[in-house]
Structure 1
C-alpha cells in the first residue's frame, strides 16, 4: 500500500469533485484527506489517497485524462508521529502587504510546521477599511511555549490580534 498526495488545479465546474472521487474509487483508492477550494474562478485542491502499488499507475493515467485539469502526483512516505501537538492560531489585523510573510517568518523561527493555512480579507463594517484574517493549524513541539510564540507574533505590529484556540491553552 502506498500513499499519494495529488495536487489539482483547473477550470471549476459542477460535478468536478464527484468526477475526482469516482475516479479514485474506480481505481481502488481510498480518499483519506483533502482540501479543495474555488479561488479566482479556478478549482484548486490537494488530496491524500491510499492505494495499492498495482493500482497507482492506472489512477494517475485516469486523473490526467480529466479535461481542463492539471494534476501532479507525489508519493508520500508514511512518517512516524512527531512529539508535537496541533494548535489552532488566528491572526487578525488591518490588511496590508507582508502580514503573512512576517507571521510565517516568526513561526519558522520557532521551528514550527504549518499544517494548514486559510486566509481572507473582508471589509470592516465600522471603519471602512479591510480586515485580514489568517487561520493556522500548527504542529508545535511539546517543548515550545505558546506564550513565547504569542508574544513574538504580537510584537510584529500594534494592530495584530493573536488568538490560540481556547482548547489549546
Structure 2
C-alpha cells in the first residue's frame, strides 16, 4: 500500500467534497485523514489516502480531471521521529501584522515540527479590537523543556498568552 497526500484548491461549490470522496472510493483508495476549508471563497484541502500502488495513476488522472480544481498528488513519507512527543500549543494576543511570522520563527529556532496549525482573528467583545488565536500541534524533541519554548514565545509581546496541553497527543 502507498500513502498519498493530496492537496486541492479551487472554486468552492456544493458537492465538491462528495465528488472528491467518490473519486477516491471508485479508484480503490481509502480516505485516512483530511483538513478541508473554505477560505476567501475558495475550497482548500489536504487529504491522506491509502491506496494500492497499481491504482495510483488512475486516481491521479481522475482527480486532476475534476473541473475547476487544482490537484497535487504526492507520495507520503513514513519517517517518524521516536524521540519527540506531540503537544498542543495555543497562542492568543492582540492581532497585528507579523504575529504568525514571529511565533513560527520562535518555534523554528527550537527545531520543532508543526503538524497542524489553525489560526483565527476575530473581534474582541469588550475592547473592540481584534484578537488573534493560533492552535498548534507540535512535535517537540523530548530534550526540550516546554517552559523554555513558552518563555521564548511570551518574550515576543506583553499581550501574548501561551498555553501548552502537556498531555501527549500521540
User: 1:81: Cα distance to partner?
Assistant: 4.3
- Aligned twin of 2:167: 167
Superposition RMSD in Å? 1.1
CA distance in 2, matches of 1:140, 1:79: 15
- Aligned twin of 2:37: 37
User: 1:167: Cα distance to partner?
Assistant: 3.2
- Aligned twin of 1:132: 132
- Aligned twin of 1:65: 65
Report how many aligned residue pairs link the two structures: 168
- Aligned twin of 2:121: 121
Matched, 1:99 2:90: no
Query: 1:69-128 CA distances to partner (integer Å, 9 max, x unpaired)?
Result: 000111113223432111111101000011111111110111100000110100011111
Provide the secondary structure at the position in 1 that maps to 2:167: helix
- Aligned twin of 2:15: 15
8 Å CA contact 2:122–2:130 kept in 1: the answer is yes
TM-score with structure 2 setting the length: 0.95
- Aligned twin of 1:142: 142
CA distance in 2, matches of 1:88, 1:7: 24
- Aligned twin of 1:56: 56
Structure 1 consecutive aligned stretches of length 4 or more whose deviation exceeds 3 Å: none
- Aligned twin of 1:78: 78
- Aligned twin of 1:156: 156
Provide the secondary structure at the position in 2 that maps to 1:72: strand
8 Å CA contact 2:87–2:166 kept in 1: the answer is no
List runs of 5+ in structure 1 lacking aligned partners.
none
